[in-house]
Structure 1
Amino acid sequence: MRLTNSGRRMLITAFATIALATATSGALAAPGPAQPTASAPGTVASAHDAGTARHVVPVHGHGAQLRPLAELSARRLLTADLVAAAKWGTESPIDDPERERQVLKAVARQAREVGADPKATVGIFRDQIEANKLVQRALHRRWQADPSQAPTEPTDLAAVRAEINRVNGGLVRAIATSEPARTAPLCDVVLLTAGVRTRQEQALDPVHTLALARSLRSVCAPPVAAGR
């Protein structure tokens, strides 16, 4: 039987609790200094190149399908540090509805091109966007409280967005290849495991950990109806 919405929320809360319990010390509103750098073109896609065929597979196969989603979501979250730095001290707001519309329109088109469900893809990306803004706001609060921690070197927002677009392409393809896992009865449990593993591998701080949980909220979809 598939978990209810309340059950899913409990699992996501468990993910955050487990991750936070093992995270290094640090204030919830104060993520560590920005560390990510833009990867070379094509690097992001490598996380999902070995995706399995779109058919029902055992639970361990579901994990292999969902791990790229967690890993790419974490990589996308790390770009939030660079976006926050680029917007710091400028008139560029964290909330950018026009940019968000462009992203959602682009991923819907890409989803159709690779055979993914555009509606499901857009839903997942709405969570990705909100998670990214969660990190940006936390960083700006930190820098406002302690200006000595604020970035001093300019960051090219256009270059950061180009990297985000590359990650987005990888995520769309990972969504397309993971439909069997995303609609499986144990998706929530397998996704929880993938998320905790990703947090450990990426050494995410508490804020990025909570943002990762937020970014994955819509990954597990209702089971596909028979005969579809």
Structure 2
Amino acid sequence: MHNTTPTRRALTTLAVAAAVALGATGTAVAAPQAPAAHAATTTASTTAGTYTLHSIADLAAQRLATADLVAAAKFGTSSPIDDPAREQQVLDAVAAQAEQLGADPDAVRKVFRDQIEANKLVQRGLFQRWTDHPDQAPTSRPDLSVVRVEINRINTELVKALAATTADRSGYVCYPELYISAAQVRHERHLDRLHTEALFRALPSVCES
């Protein structure tokens, strides 16, 4: 286990520097898209089954894209952003998948806890934005059950990627490589400030597995 406190501080500094260098200074939030649009953006390396640290960063970004849809489905309803029962279902499912693939289920759970918190960070940011600017609020409500199908697909791919990159994630070189990959993904996917912040929030436990 690495000494995570100074490491996370260093990575936070690196994340901010990388985001600024790549121009992640905008605040615009794109309108929620259908899940199929996100599914179509899977990277070539992931599609081919060759997983890398870049694949993990990109899958994390894909998962964050679903937060826009979840937020749109919940905004203006009684459905809370925090959903402990659903979160536990996700954690149990990915741990079971990890065991089937010979990966450490506890390590995978830890990664997905970060993924869930990052997703909620986006939802809270969008809720605040739409509350402050009602004219920017979504005008349609996505079907949450359909969105969750897409989330489950990404979860499965991410577990596979974590299982396939155990060696890459076990060394100290993982940290710089992962966060360089995250900066590249931010640029490739044109992430705004909110989603860039969430992307880096989603990744700290990847290299602690």
TM-score by length of 1: 0.83
Question: How many angstroms does 1:50 deviate by?
Answer: 4.1
Read off the aligned partner of 2:34 and give its amino acid letter.
Answer: T
Question: Partners in 2 of 1:4 and 1:89 — Cα distance?
Answer: 38
Mapping 1:1-228, distance limit 5 Å: 5-23=5-23, 25-27=25-27, 31-39=28-36, 44=42, 47-51=45-49, 65-221=52-208
SS, match of residue 156 in structure 2:
helix
Native 8 Å contact 2:38 2:62 kept in 1: no
Question: How many angstroms does 1:154 deviate by?
Answer: 1.9
CA 1:41/1:110 → structure 2, altered by over 3 Å: closer, same or farther? farther
CA 1:15/1:41 → structure 2, altered by over 3 Å: closer, same or farther? closer
Once the two structures are superposed, residues 166-200 of structure 1 have per-residue CA deviations (whole angstroms, 9 ceiling, x without a partner) of: 00000000000010110012110111111111100
**Runs (4+) off by over 3 Å:** 2-5, 40-47, 49-52
Read off the aligned partner of 1:122 and give its amino acid letter.
Answer: R
Question: Partners in 2 of 1:5 and 1:49 — Cα distance?
Answer: 35
CA 1:21/1:169 → structure 2, altered by over 3 Å: closer, same or farther? same
Read off the aligned partner of 1:9 and give its amino acid letter.
Answer: R
Question: How many angstroms does 1:33 deviate by?
Answer: 2.6
Question: Partners in 1 of 2:154 and 2:172 — Cα distance?
Answer: 28
Question: How many angstroms does 1:211 deviate by?
Answer: 0.3
Question: How many angstroms does 1:142 deviate by?
Answer: 0.5
Q: What percentage of residue pairs aligned between the two structures are identical?
A: 49
Once the two structures are superposed, residues 21-67 of structure 1 have per-residue CA deviations (whole angstroms, 9 ceiling, x without a partner) of: 4335434xxx5133433128975596525455xxxxxxxxxxx6201
Read off the aligned partner of 1:11 and give its amino acid letter.
Answer: L
List alignment gaps of at least 5 residues for structure 1.
Answer: 53-63, 223-228
Question: Partners in 2 of 1:201 and 1:176 — Cα distance?
Answer: 25
Native 8 Å contact 2:170 2:208 kept in 1: yes
Question: Partners in 2 of 1:185 and 1:68 — Cα distance?
Answer: 18
Native 8 Å contact 2:91 2:112 kept in 1: yes
TM-score by length of 2: 0.90
RMSD: 2.2
Read off the aligned partner of 2:11 and give its amino acid letter.
Answer: L
Greater share of helix residues, 1 or 2? 2
Greater Rg, structure 1 or structure 2? 1
Question: Partners in 1 of 2:22 and 2:43 — Cα distance?
Answer: 29
Question: Partners in 2 of 1:45 and 1:33 — Cα distance?
Answer: 21
Read off the aligned partner of 2:114 and give its amino acid letter.
Answer: D
CA 1:39/1:221 → structure 2, altered by over 3 Å: closer, same or farther? same
Question: Partners in 1 of 2:24 and 2:39 — Cα distance?
Answer: 31
Question: Partners in 1 of 2:4 and 2:108 — Cα distance?
Answer: 21
Once the two structures are superposed, residues 123-160 of structure 1 have per-residue CA deviations (whole angstroms, 9 ceiling, x without a partner) of: 00000000000000000000100111111112101100
Question: Partners in 2 of 1:212 and 1:70 — Cα distance?
Answer: 8
SS, match of residue 144 in structure 1:
helix
